Amino acid sequence: MDVKKQQLPPKENALFKRILKCYEQKQYKNGLKFAKQILANFPDHGETLAMKGLILNCLGKKEEAYNFVRLGLRNNLTSHVCWHVFGLLQRSDKKYDEAIKCYRNALKWDKDNLQILRDLSLLQIQMRDLEGYKDTRYKLFELRPTQRASWIGYAMSFHLLKDFSTALKIIEEFRKTMQKSSYDYEHSELLLYQNLVLRESGALEEALDHLETYATNICDKVTLAELRGELMMKLGREDAASEIYRSLVSRNPENRDYYLKLEESLGLTTVEERIKLYEELREKTPRAQVPKRLPLNYATGETLEKLLDTYLRAAIQKGVPPLFTDVQSLYDNKERVQVIEKLMNGYLKNLHETGHLTETDNEFKEPASILYVLMFLAQHHSYLGDTEKALTLLKEALDHTPTLIELYIIKGKILKHAGDYVGAYEALQEAQALDTADRYVNSKCASYLLRANLVKEGEDMCAKFTREGVSAMENLNEMQCMWFQTECARAYDRMGLFGEALRKCHEVDRHFTEIIEDQFDFHTYCMRKMTLRSYVELLRLEDVLRSNRFYWDAAQTAINIYLRLYDQPLSENAGDNNLNTANMDPAELKKLRSKQRKAAKKAEQNKAEEKKKEEKKAEHQKAKHGGNQVI
């Protein structure tokens, strides 16, 4: 490698700078044109070859791109640009460990290059190399001590490593450099982040003092009150905490957590004490639902019957379709189930005889009340396993009001619980006919079709709400519609189409990989916008992302299929099929062979289409992250 050959004259050097600008502005064709002009006179210029490769990679010419970048590196191994470009290529192919090695090599030749250090820090936090991230953030802090992101990134590196004292010192020093203003949301977020670090370090008293000191500077007053209440509870100051939770209940009387924390802060242990508290709260907020609903979890005997009677009657008179869903959690107690059944049967009897919910009810008659009682009882008996009685009650409700969509949805659910998936989707189709614009009904209908192994029909049902001009399957995959894909995988598994089932499972797996990749967009954004608490939550969520139910379902299906295929390989099944052909006549055998050839051809076409889609997706991802600076 001749060093002199790698130095461009002023004219070509200006062209090279234009190549960099074209890459950053995604003007790839112009960039290639300028690269061609330089290479015509300097064919061995490593940095130009590397940049040409990087631009070709953005245009989807991956193999050609790697050839040019490797050639550029061979011609100039001491160029930080060549190593940086090689790292960007590796990153675009998700080879993050290799990309980190390339960035480190680039830094050997230009140790203070800000762009390379930033790119390296992004990969390190993405890969959770926290020690490496700390070192890189320190270097950035040294080079740019006046930038806010330098301070925040350096402090966060210690926080993530659980070195809380150092993180707190850095945040406090940074706060001293900030300009004060009467209303500063970013300063407020920084204070709340500082408080988070204090709480996680175990300095609860200090954290509470910190909140009291900076209460006027914190803009999010609800979070401030919640944190004060939480800290006071942990420090054993229940009286002060109860006052805070009372104010929070007044502020938002529909927040269930506030009531539970108020109970805890008051030290209520007996049922009587809790019932008394909720009576008092109901008087203060008579329109709120939560103080009426929560006592049902504790009450017993006559008190339970009285409270349930009031609660159920109010909901029936108002006409609340999801009433059963609301009280379903009470069904873990036999006494409550018996009381609910007794009350509802009493309402039904009275409505049939007098038109009123109770014998002493002198209010005007409400014809719709019987409908909601029948609807509730149908769900009640379905939950208890009495499908026949549930359907009888639902038929009576449908005879009363045949145009209520909720009745058909409930019928579908009852049949689904009974294992009749065909009947379930037929009921949902009737519901959809009443409101074709209801996406929830459409999705439920598609779900039941898939449970009945009618994949094509399920896809057609979803096509009513997908983008025109694109197949429903493709669009649902693009939208990361994981419930559909997991149901499809199970349906294919039941049908013995293991290849299709595995393909759906791997699509779900790819969605989770994409979600993890999408972190890249937030590593710099959150530092810039100071949404630091949310950023830490995001990082911790991503660390346990694959514990999500959809991933679990897809993984379980895939594992079962792979184990089955290991125990009974397809080749053995194929061999059995060949043995059976001995008894076939020539015409049948010819037909079978033709069918097998068509199936094989279709499988190849599907594979080619899948490959094409993957390449297209990869190009899109590259274009999305293509505007990285190189120098």
Joined together, the tokens standing for residue 268 give 């209520």
| Same domain as 449, residue 484 | no
| Same domain as 71, residue 19 | yes
First to last CA, the chain: 22
CA 391 – CA 411 distance, rounded (Å): 7
| Same domain as 398, residue 303 | yes
- Tally of structural domains, the chain: 4
**Are the C-beta atoms of 381 and 389 separated by less than 8 Å?**
yes
Average pLDDT over residues 466-478: 86
Residue 590 has a pLDDT of: 60
CA 351 – CA 550 distance, rounded (Å): 44
> Tens digit of pLDDT for each residue in 268-305?
989 999 999 999 999 999 999 999 999 999 999 999 99
CA 84 – CA 120 distance, rounded (Å): 10
| Same domain as 398, residue 304 | yes
Provide φ and ψ at 263, rounded to 5°: -55, -50
| Length in residues, the chain | 631
> Above 70 in pLDDT, residue 468?
yes
Average pLDDT over residues 48-67: 90
Average pLDDT over residues 463-468: 86
> Above 90 in pLDDT, residue 117?
yes
**Are the C-beta atoms of 99 and 127 separated by less than 8 Å?**
no
Average pLDDT over residues 142-153: 92
Could you tell me the pLDDT band of residue 596, with boundaries at 50, 70 and 90? low
Determine, yes or no, domain membership for 4.
Answer: no
| Same domain as 481, residue 434 | no
Determine, yes or no, domain membership for 519.
Answer: yes
Average pLDDT over residues 442-470: 90
Residue 357 has a pLDDT of: 79
- Establish how many alpha carbons lie within 13 A of residue 529's alpha carbon, considering only the half-sphere containing its beta carbon: 10
> Above 80 in pLDDT, residue 571?
no
Residue 588 has a pLDDT of: 55
Residue 582 has a pLDDT of: 42
Q: Return all residues near 416 (Cβ < 8 A) that are at least 6 apart.
A: 424, 448, 451
Average pLDDT over residues 470-490: 91
Determine, yes or no, domain membership for 509.
Answer: yes
Residue 591 has a pLDDT of: 60
Could you tell me the pLDDT band of residue 201, with boundaries at 50, 70 and 90? very high
Average pLDDT over residues 349-376: 81
Given 350, 371, 402, the domain boundary residue is 402
| Same domain as 420, residue 336 | no
Average pLDDT over residues 167-172: 94
Residue 183 has a pLDDT of: 64
> Above 60 in pLDDT, residue 84?
yes
Could you tell me the pLDDT band of residue 578, with boundaries at 50, 70 and 90? very low
> Above 60 in pLDDT, residue 66?
yes
CA 50 – CA 569 distance, rounded (Å): 47
| Same domain as 389, residue 310 | yes
> Tens digit of pLDDT for each residue in 366-398?
778 899 999 999 999 999 999 999 999 999 999
Residue 365 has a pLDDT of: 62
Could you tell me the pLDDT band of residue 617, with boundaries at 50, 70 and 90? low
> Above 60 in pLDDT, residue 340?
yes
**Are the C-beta atoms of 339 and 330 separated by less than 8 Å?**
no
Residue 583 has a pLDDT of: 41
Give the structural domain span for 47.
10-111
Determine, yes or no, domain membership for 242.
Answer: no
Q: Return all residues near 82 (Cβ < 8 A) that are at least 6 apart.
A: 46, 47, 50, 69, 72, 73, 76
Q: Closest by alpha carbon to 2, among 43, 40, 35?
A: 43
Tell me which amino acid residue 538 is: L
Determine, yes or no, domain membership for 525.
Answer: yes
Joined together, the tokens standing for residue 96 give 């993050």
Joined together, the tokens standing for residue 170 give 């850095």
291 or 575, which is more confident?
291
Given 534, 567, 600, the domain boundary residue is 567
Residue 595 has a pLDDT of: 63
Determine, yes or no, domain membership for 626.
Answer: no
Average pLDDT over residues 443-448: 93
Determine, yes or no, domain membership for 5.
Answer: no
CA 31 – CA 15 distance, rounded (Å): 9
Could you tell me the pLDDT band of residue 182, with boundaries at 50, 70 and 90? low
Q: Closest by alpha carbon to 149, among 117, 123, 124?
A: 117
Q: Which residue has the tokens 């059976």?
A: 580
Q: Cα angle vertex 593, ends 591, 594, to 5°?
A: 65
| Same domain as 456, residue 386 | no
| Same domain as 383, residue 321 | yes
**Are the C-beta atoms of 242 and 265 separated by less than 8 Å?**
yes
| Same domain as 491, residue 460 | no
Residue 3 CB: number of other CB atoms within 10 A? 8
Q: Which percentage of the chain shows pLDDT scores above 70?
A: 90
Q: How far is CA 243 from CA 228, 270, 445, in A?
A: 11, 21, 49
**How far does Cα 54 stand from its chain's mean position?**
32
Determine, yes or no, domain membership for 138.
Answer: no
| Same domain as 94, residue 61 | yes
R_g (Cα) of the chain, nearest Å: 33
Residue 45 has a pLDDT of: 87
Q: How far is CA 371 from CA 137, 313, 384, 428, in A?
A: 65, 13, 20, 19
Q: What is the mean pLDDT of the chain?
A: 88
Q: Is 81 helix (H, G, I), strand (E, B) or coil?
A: helix
> Tens digit of pLDDT for each residue in 243-276?
999 999 999 999 999 999 999 999 998 999 999 9
What's the CATH code of the domain at 101?
A: 1.25.40.10
Q: How far is CA 340 from CA 85, 265, 296, 347, in A?
A: 69, 31, 11, 11
> Above 50 in pLDDT, residue 575?
no
Given 512, 538, 567, the domain boundary residue is 567
> Above 50 in pLDDT, residue 581?
no
Residue 576 has a pLDDT of: 43
| Same domain as 560, residue 518 | yes
